[in-house]
Structure 1
Amino acid sequence: MPEPIVFYDIPRKATVPSENAWSPNTWKTRYSLNIKGLAYKTVWIEYPDIEALYKKLGVEPVDIGPTGAPYCGLPLIYDPNTGAKVNDSASIARYLDKTYPDTPTLIPKETDALHAAFQRAFAAVLISGNGDFPSLMMPETQARLNPASQGYFRRTREEWFGTALEELAPHGSEKRRKHWEGVKNAFHEVAGWLQAGGQDNLVFLGNQRICYADVTVAAFLVWLRITFGEASEEWKDVLTWDGGRWAKFAEAFREYEHVDEGSSLVL
């Protein structure tokens, strides 16, 4: 039996383990591991400790951040069966496909280039664009993090945005309403991709065959649901978008939302 893969994730305020996981980037990897049915154990790590973890494991920064400084982010996995340390959710998905070929494939070889293009297109529509989605989510996320991460998250995100988080989408403001409408329009554009050619696929490869592009969208939907809450007006609104498409889409991923209790990082 293979040893469990070590999966590093960021916790938030929660009373039960299933509510600990929130980050869309780490959810991409959690979904990937759960879909493949691979054994893993979560190690929870607060934001200020991520860079120290990278140095301890000898892992290079995943990217350059918005301010031009090296960015050490999660997800990150360590596979004791091969000794591999892999960061970036797409790279992790490709590693898992190659290393564990007898599990469901997330990025079929013939779709590899298309997946790379999808990642850039999806980010441009939902994240980059006019900044509607980050403007809504950053303040809400910061408020729900553990105290150990709140200060770091506020400082770095305010450096990125150049303003206080509270100014991004104040509750009850016209600015917030416009941001929410922008998020709705972004998901509507993605819905159009799924209907290209006159088809109406629930998932990108059709025939209910889940791939990594689907995982990416599901990760951002679960971020919305967990952040605002199942009973919130915001989530109820999402469930009505595009004729209920995203309600069906999110429901298709429920069976892959296992969150283990895990353990806290010891550096």
Structure 2
Amino acid sequence: MPEPIVFYDIPRKANVPSDTAWSPNTWKTRYSLNIKGLSYRTVWVEYPDIEALYKKLGVEPTDTGPTGAPFYTLPLIYDPNTKEYVSDSAAIARYLDKTYPDTPTLIPKETDALHAAFQRAFAAVFNPGNAGFSWIMMPETYVRLNPASQGYFRRTREQWFGMALEELAPRGSEKRQKHWEVVKDAFHEVAGWLQAGRQERLFFLGGETICYADIVIAAFIIWFRNTFSEDSAEWRDMLSWDGGRWGKLTEAFRKHESVDDGSPLEL
């Protein structure tokens, strides 16, 4: 039997383990592992420790930041069965497909290019310039992080946006409503993709088959749902969009939302 994969994720304040996972990027990998039924264990890493973790493990940076400096992000996995480290959720999905071919396929080879195009299109639709999903979610995420991560998160995000987190989308403001309309329009556009050819699909590949594109959408929805809670006006509003499509997608993914207790990182 294969040894459990080590999955590095970012924690937040929570009373139970299932609420600890929040990041849409790491949820893409958690969903991937859960859908494939692969054994794994979570190691929780606070934001300031991510770079130190990469350097300790000898893993190359995920990307290059806006200033040209190395950029270190999660998710990251270590597979003790192959002795490989893999970062970036899409790269992890492709690695898991290749390494564990007897599990459900996330990115069928014939859709590889389409998935790459989807990721670019999805990012452009959900954060078109100075409005969108991130503007609403960043302040809400900040207050729910553990104190160990809050300082890093505030500093880096305020550098990105060029303003205080509290200024991004103040509750009750016209600015927030503008961002909310952009989010609603983004979901509506994605719904249009799924209805191309006048076919009504819940999943991109049709039928009951989940692929990585579906995982990307579900990861953003669970970030939103767990941040605002299912009792919130924001969540109830989202459930009303596009004929209730996003509530249906949420229900389809609930069986894949398993979160283990995990353990904190020890550097």
**TM class by shorter-chain length?**
over 0.9
Decide whether the 8 Å contact of 1:202 with 1:249 is kept in 2: yes
CA distance in 2, matches of 1:228, 1:69: 34
2:227 alignment counterpart: 227
2:42 match: secondary structure: strand
SS at match of 2:143: helix
Distance in 2, matches of 1:16 and 1:66, equals: 36
The aligned residue for residue 60 of structure 2 is 60
Partner of 2:13: 13
Question: Residue deviations 1:217-267, cap 9 Å, x none?
Answer: 000000000111111111111111111011101111000000000000000
Partner of 1:137: 137
Residue 32 (structure 1) aligns with: 32
Single out whichever of 55-64 and 158-167 deviates more from structure 2.
55-64
Alpha-carbon contact 1:74-1:87 (below 8 Å) kept: yes
| CA contact 1:86–1:92 (8 Å) conserved in 2 | yes
Q: Does 1:251 align with 2:237?
A: no
Separation in 2 of the partners of 1:106 and 1:243? 26
Where 1:240 maps in the other structure, the secondary structure is helix
Distance 2:160 2:129 in 1: 15
Q: Mapping of 1:88-167 within 5 angstroms?
A: 88-167=88-167
CA distance in 1, matches of 2:200, 2:52: 46
- 1:81 is paired with a residue of what secondary structure? coil
Q: Give per-residue Cα distances to partners, 1:42-101, cap 9 Å, x unaligned.
A: 000000000000001111111122444221000000000000100000000000000000
The residue type paired with residue 225 of structure 2 is: R
Alignment gaps of 5+ in structure 2 = none
Structure 1 residues 266 and 128: alpha-carbon distance in aligned structure 2, compared to 1, 3 A threshold: farther
Number of equivalent positions:
267
SS in 2 for 1:77: strand
Identity among equivalent pairs (%): 77
Provide the rounded CA distance (Å) in 1 between the counterparts of 2:262 and 2:131: 33
- Structure 2 CA distance for aligned equivalents of residues 102 and 130 of structure 1: 43
Query: d(CA) in 1 for partners of 2:90 and 2:240?
Result: 29
Which AA in structure 2 matches 1:164? Answer: A
Q: In the aligned structure 1, how far is the partner of 2:59 from the partner of 2:128?
A: 27
Normalised TM-score (structure 2): 0.98
Residue 253 of structure 1 aligns to a residue whose secondary structure is: helix
Matched-pair contact (CA < 8 Å) for 1:133–1:183: yes
1:260 match: secondary structure: coil
Q: TM-score, normalised by structure 1?
A: 0.98
Aligned partner of residue 7 in structure 1, secondary structure: strand
Q: What displacement does 1:128 show? A: 4.0
SS in 2 for 1:156: helix
Q: Which amino acid in 1 is paired with 2:97?
A: D
Query: Which residue of the partner structure matches residue 188 of structure 1?
Result: 188
2: distance between equivalents of 1:8 and 1:127?
A: 26
Matched, 1:50 2:50: yes
The code of the aligned residue for 1:235 comes to W
Per-residue CA deviation, residues 113-170 of structure 1 (Å, 9 max, x unaligned), is 1000001110110134443111100000001000000000000000000100000000
Shift of 1:188: 0.3
Give SS of 2:260's match. Answer: coil
Name the aligned partner's letter for residue 77 of structure 1.
I
Compute the RMSD of aligned alpha carbons: 0.8
Give the distance between the partners of 2:6 and 2:262, measured in 1 at CA: 10
Q: Which residue of 2 aligns with 1:173?
A: 173
* 1:197 Cα deviation after fit: 0.7
CA contact (8 A) 1:67 1:160 kept: no
